[in-house]
Structure 1
Amino acid sequence: MTTVPVREHRPARPTRFVAARFAASGELGGLTLAGAIGLAATAVGAACPVLGAPVVAVVGGALLSPLARRWRGVVQPGLDIARVRLLRLSVVLLGAQLSLGQVAHAGVASLPVMLTTLAACLAGAALLGRGLRVGRDLRVLIGVGTAICGASAIAATSPTIRARDPDVTYAVSTIFLFNVAAVLVFPPLGHALGLSPNGFGLFAGTAVNDMSSVVATAGSYGPAAAQQAVVVKLVRTLMIIPIVLTLGALVRRREAPAGPAAATRRRPGRGGLVVARRAARLVPGFLVGFVLVAAANSAGLLPAASQEPLRRGAMVLIAVALAAIGLATDVAALRRTGGRPLLLGLLLWVTVSVTSLAVARVV
C-alpha cells in the first residue's frame, strides 16, 4: 500500500515573512493614499486660500472613505500612522512660527480680547452643547476650534481627548463653513463699524479661526490689518498649550482608577512625588516638542530661512493627517449626527464675534 504524504503545515518563517510584507504594504498603502490627498489639498489650498488645505483634505478623504473601507486591510495601518504620528509631528513644527517676543508686540489690548473670547466660547460650548445634546467630544472640538485656531487646535486636541474620527471630521467641516462666512461678512462689517486697520486686525485675529482665513479676511482690509491680524492670531495659537493640558488632566481624572489603589497613592510623605509624577504624565510628548521648538525660535536658534519651510511642512503634515482622518470616517454615521453640531458652531461663531467687538470697544 502506497501512502501519500499530507502537508498540513507551512514553514513558520515564510509565514512570518509574508505577514511582515503585508503589514509593511498596509502602512505604505495608507500613507500613500493619505499623502496623495494631502498634497492635492495643499495645492488647492494654495490656489484658493479661502478653502484652505485642511478642509480640502478632510472633505476629500471623507468622499473617498467608501474606497478606504473596501481596502481596509491594505490601507488601515498607514492611515493610523498618518492620523496619529504625523498629526503630532505637525503640531510640533507649528511651534517654529511662535516666539515670546510676538506676545509682547501684539500689545496689551489684544490679551483681554483674546482671553475674554476664549472664555466666552468655551463656556458657550459647554452650556449650549449640552442644551443641544451634542456629544461631549464633538462640542469640545468645535469649542476649541472656534476659540483658538480652527483645524490646528482640533488637530492638537483630538489625540488628547481620544476623539473619534467622525467627530474630528464634523468639527473641521463646521469650522470651515464659518471661516468662509467670515471672509465674506467681516470686511463689510468692519467698514460699516468704522474699524481702523489695527482694530480690524485685532477683530479678525480673534474671531476668525484658521490662519489662511485670517489672512484672507484681514488682507482685504489692507496690509496693516493683515499684519496685526497675523500677530494676534499667532499669540492666540499659544492658548493651545493650557487648553490641551487642562483637557488632558480632565481625561486622566475621569479615567483614573478608584478604591484601594488610589488610596495607596495618597500615602503621607509621598504627596510631592505623586504630584510631580502626575504633572509629568499630563504633558503629551508632542506638546513638549511644540514648546521646545517655540522656545528655540524665541532664542534665535532657528534660522530665519527655516521658518517658512517648517511652516509649509507643518501644513502639509496636517493636510495628510486630516486626509487620513477623512478616509477613516464613516460618512453614514456622520449624517446620523444631524444638524445640532452645525447650529452649535453657528452660535459659538456669533458669540466670539460679538464678544471680540464688544471687548475691543471697551479696552
Structure 2
Amino acid sequence: MIKKIAPGFIFVLLLALFSTWLGSLVPIVGGPVFGILIGVLINNLLRKPAYTQAGIQFSSKKVLQWSIIALGCGLSLTEVWRTGSESFLLMLISLISAFIAAYGVGRLLNIPLKMQTLIGAGTGICGGSAIAAVSPIVEADEIEIAYSISTIFLFNIVAVLTFPAIGHWLGMSDAAFGLLAGTAINDTSSVVAAGYIYSDAAGAYATIVKLTRTTMIIPICFALAIIVGIKKSRQASEEQTGTFRVTKVFPWFIIWFLAASFLNTAGLFSDQMLRYLDIIAKFMIVMALTAIGLSADFRKMMKSGVKPILLGLIVWFVVSGVSLIVLALTGKL
C-alpha cells in the first residue's frame, strides 16, 4: 500500500513546498491557491504520470481531513465563547443568508447542488477550509471542489482590496470593521490582510472573529451528514439495495477537530507546539489542494462556464450587505 501511495504523495509534497514558497512571496494569493493552480496546469498541460494517481488521491482525501484536525489544535474554545457571545448573531445571520442565496440563486442558474453547497459553505464559513470539510460529506468531485475554491479565492482578493477603503468611507470603528471583515471575508489570510490594512486593532479582532466563525464548520458538517444520510437511506429503500448507514457519510474527522480544540483549550499545547501545528496544518491544506488540482480536468471545468463565478459574486454581495445591515441595526456600525 505504501509503495503504491509513495510516488504520488512525494510528487504532491514537492509541488506543495514550491507552492508554499510562492505563497510566501505573494501572501495575498497564498500557498493553497498556488497549489491548486499549479496542479490544474500540470494535469491539463503536461498530464500527471499514471503511477502517481494513488498518492494524489490519498492526499486529496486523507491529508485534507488531517489538515482540518490540525487546524482544531489552534482553536481555543474559551476565546471562541467570549468572541462568539459578541458576534454570534451576526455570524448566524450571515451564514443563513449565504446558504439561502447559494441554493436560491444556484437553482435559478441551474448550478449543480453540490457546487451550490460548496460555494455557500465557502462564503458563509471560511473559504477553502469549509469547502475542504464539506466536500467529502456531499461527495463532491475534484472539479467541483477546484472550481468552488477558485471562485471563493477571486472574491477574497476583491475584498482585501476594497473592504478597508469602504470601512474608512463609512467611518467604521476598529471593532466594527473587525466584525465585518471576520464575517464577510472568506479565507483567514484574507481576513487578516484586510483587518491589518485597516488598523492593528481591527486586524487582531477580525482574526479572533474569523477563528470563531470557523467553528460553524462543526454544526454545518453534522447537518449535511444527516441530510445526505436520510437522502441515501430513502434512495436505498426505493431501489431496494439494502439499508444505508449514516456512519458512511458521518464526518468523523470533525469529531477529532473538536477533540483537538478541547485539548488546546485545556492548555495541553505549548505556544511553540501551537506554532508548529499551525504551520503543519496550513501546509497540509496546500498539499491537499495541490492534489485536488492534479485531479481536476480543465476542460470539464470550462463546461460549467461563468455561472459558478456569478453565483459566488451574488452570495458574497448578499453576505457583505447583510453584515453591514446587521451592524447598523445593532448600533455597531
TM-score (normalised: structure 1): 0.86
Q: 1:299 Cα deviation (Å)?
A: 1.1
Q: C-alpha separation between the residues in 2 aligned to 1:347 and 1:283?
A: 30
Corresponding residue for 2:182? 205
Tell me if the contact between 1:89 and 1:286 (Cα under 8 Å) persists in the aligned partners: yes
Range with bigger deviation, 142-151 or 95-104 = 95-104
Describe how 1:320-331 pairs up with structure 2 within 5 A.
320-331=287-298
Q: C-alpha separation between the residues in 2 aligned to 1:186 and 1:259?
A: 50
Corresponding residue for 1:339? 306
Please state if 1:231 is matched with 2:208.
yes
Q: C-alpha separation between the residues in 2 aligned to 1:328 and 1:58?
A: 10
Q: 1:284 Cα deviation (Å)?
A: 2.1
Range with bigger deviation, 104-113 or 228-237 = 104-113
- The amino acid across from 2:237 in the alignment is A
Do the aligned partners of residues 138 and 259 (structure 1) sit closer, same or farther apart at CA in structure 2, a change above 3 Å counting?
closer
Deviations 1:119-173 (A, max 9, x none): 0001111101000111111111111000000000011111111101000000010
Describe how 1:93-172 pairs up with structure 2 within 5 A.
93-106=70-83, 108-172=85-149
Q: 1:289 Cα deviation (Å)?
A: 0.8
Tell me if the contact between 1:122 and 1:144 (Cα under 8 Å) persists in the aligned partners: yes
Q: 1:304 Cα deviation (Å)?
A: 2.1
Aligned partner of residue 213 in structure 2, secondary structure: helix
Please state if 1:215 is matched with 2:192.
yes
Tell me if the contact between 2:42 and 2:48 (Cα under 8 Å) persists in the aligned partners: no
CA RMSD for the aligned pairs?
2.0
- The amino acid across from 1:319 in the alignment is V
Q: C-alpha separation between the residues in 1 aligned to 2:46 and 2:4?
A: 12
Tell me if the contact between 1:145 and 1:175 (Cα under 8 Å) persists in the aligned partners: yes
Instruction: Choose the corresponding residue for 1:53, options 23, 26, 31.
Output: 31
Q: 1:108 Cα deviation (Å)?
A: 3.1
Corresponding residue for 2:262? 295
Please state if 1:249 is matched with 2:216.
no
Aligned partner of residue 50 in structure 1, secondary structure: coil
- The amino acid across from 1:33 in the alignment is F
Range with bigger deviation, 59-68 or 352-361 = 59-68
Please state if 1:31 is matched with 2:35.
no
Q: C-alpha separation between the residues in 1 aligned to 2:45 and 2:6?
A: 16
TM-score (normalised: structure 2): 0.94
Corresponding residue for 1:9? none
Please state if 1:312 is matched with 2:279.
yes
For structure 2, list consecutive stretches of 5 or more residues without a partner in the other structure.
none
Q: 1:54 Cα deviation (Å)?
A: 1.2
Aligned partner of residue 258 in structure 1, secondary structure: helix
Tell me if the contact between 2:178 and 2:202 (Cα under 8 Å) persists in the aligned partners: yes
Tell me if the contact between 2:48 and 2:294 (Cα under 8 Å) persists in the aligned partners: no
Tell me if the contact between 1:68 and 1:75 (Cα under 8 Å) persists in the aligned partners: no
Q: C-alpha separation between the residues in 2 aligned to 1:50 and 1:43?
A: 13
Deviations 1:254-309 (A, max 9, x none): 111216989999xxxxxxxxxxx95x666422111101000111111122221111
Instruction: Choose the corresponding residue for 1:258, options 227, 231, 237.
Output: 237
Q: 1:46 Cα deviation (Å)?
A: 2.2
Do the aligned partners of residues 66 and 24 (structure 1) sit closer, same or farther apart at CA in structure 2, a change above 3 Å counting?
farther
Instruction: Tell me the percent identity.
Output: 38
Q: C-alpha separation between the residues in 1 aligned to 2:123 and 2:317?
A: 10
Q: Give the total of aligned pairs.
A: 328
Tell me if the contact between 1:42 and 1:316 (Cα under 8 Å) persists in the aligned partners: yes
Aligned partner of residue 73 in structure 2, secondary structure: helix
Tell me if the contact between 1:205 and 1:232 (Cα under 8 Å) persists in the aligned partners: yes
For structure 1, list consecutive stretches of 5 or more residues without a partner in the other structure.
1-22, 266-276
Q: C-alpha separation between the residues in 2 aligned to 1:195 and 1:160?
A: 39
Aligned partner of residue 303 in structure 2, secondary structure: helix
- The amino acid across from 1:354 in the alignment is G
Q: C-alpha separation between the residues in 2 aligned to 1:251 and 1:330?
A: 26
Deviations 1:308-345 (A, max 9, x none): 11111011001001100100111100011100000000
